[in-house]
Amino acid sequence: MILKKQLSFILLFMAVLNGCANNTDRAAQSAEEASTVSVTVDHELYFSLPDEPGDIHSSEEFDFYVQTVAEGLSTPWGMAFLPNGSMLVTEREGNLRLIADGILVDEPVANVPEVKAQNQGGLLDVELHPDFERNGWIYMSYSKPDGESSMTAIFRAKYDSAAHALTDIEEIYVGHPFTERGHHYGSRIVFDHDGYLYFSIGDRGEMETAQDYNTSQGNLFRLHDDGSVPSDNPFVGEEEGLDEIFSYGHRNIQGMTVHPETGVVWTSEHGPRGGDEININNKPGANYGWPVITYGINYDGNIISEKSEEEGMEQPVMYWDPSIAPSGMAFITGDTYPGWEGSIMNGALSFQLLSRIVVDGEEYVKEERLLEGIGRIRDVQMGPDGYLYFANESDGTLNRLIPVE
């Protein structure tokens, strides 16, 4: 018996050595095989396909129609896809809504914190923890009230399906200072591939604050999932700058997504009259320039800055002039939309359309505009079912694009 065990150990040891010697070849082979693997997607995980298509629309690559999957929402702002086929949708007035078995549940989810639902404020974005199936954490942004003032805040909670209510609510971050102004809350939330939590707060209508990194206004933030500050954040240990800030000089980030290959955070933000931007946020401590540099002018026609470039300040991948008011953005992934792979889809509030931006790496190539006049598109996301979803706050609907085969 002892001899058999020793012989087995020797054979196992030789196999390990042989495996190590061929590790490079096997890794290369695995990578090659992985590149050819087709991931099966359940197209009806969240909603059944309609018996008949709707009105047919044409893009440069293929024809498609819009399927409305939920109606009766009040200013839908953010959405999150639960792994069980349900969805959570935030309504700006302060309600969190559940869509289960393809139906919008009548009663809002209970125990949502009080919000300051004024102007652009309210209950805003919602995002699941990357390990949601294990820990159940749901993250939301909102305008936290303090008398007549408010400020962007982030909390996390869990959903108790039996009680149809949030539980274990924890406040992750509260911006400062509070102000009575009712706009530029930012509030988009994403997790990158390393599990860091990113979120935005706008300049709150006071443009000069975006260059003051000792306040929360006009910034992109990076935290651990529990709200603690990563030790390698750019201003940790510095005399100036909040530890939680990742980049500054932002006017009002309203779209945020993570590049599916590089894991880098990309954002879209509102300019004034002209100068909406798409930016790549891959430089810790970077200054994105607002309002020192801008491609827009003030709403009254006055010049904000004569400069559109300045040494030490980042340039956008592209900018819109006139402004479309981009809100919500997502990289197109999978094979549902042939020819769109790798494009960035943006919602547009003022121009009421979907804007598909084609990029080559980090370079802008072209724009295609779709569904012009459909309504104010607040959020855009790729669903786990392979379809592109968008929230239309004009008619209170949630929709997805279905290609015509």
Q: Which residues are catalytic?
A: 184
Q: Specify whether the CB–CB gap between 184 and 251 falls below 8 A.
A: yes
Name the 3-class secondary structure at 341: coil
Say how far apart CA 153 and CA 373 lie, in whole Å.
Answer: 33
DSSP 177-240: S-BS--------EEE-TT--EEEEE--TT-GGGGG-TTSSTTEEEEE-TTSPPPTTSTTTT-SS
Taking each helix axis as running N to C, give the angle between helix 2-21 and helix 23-36, from 0 to 180 degrees, rounded to the nearest 10: 70
Say how far apart CA 10 and CA 295 lie, in whole Å.
Answer: 69
CB neighbour list of residue 144: distance below 8 Å, 6 or more residues apart: 113, 115, 116, 150, 151, 152, 153, 174, 178
Q: Specify whether the CB–CB gap between 335 and 341 falls below 8 A.
A: yes
- Spatial CA neighbour of 293 closest among 304, 285, 283, 302: 304
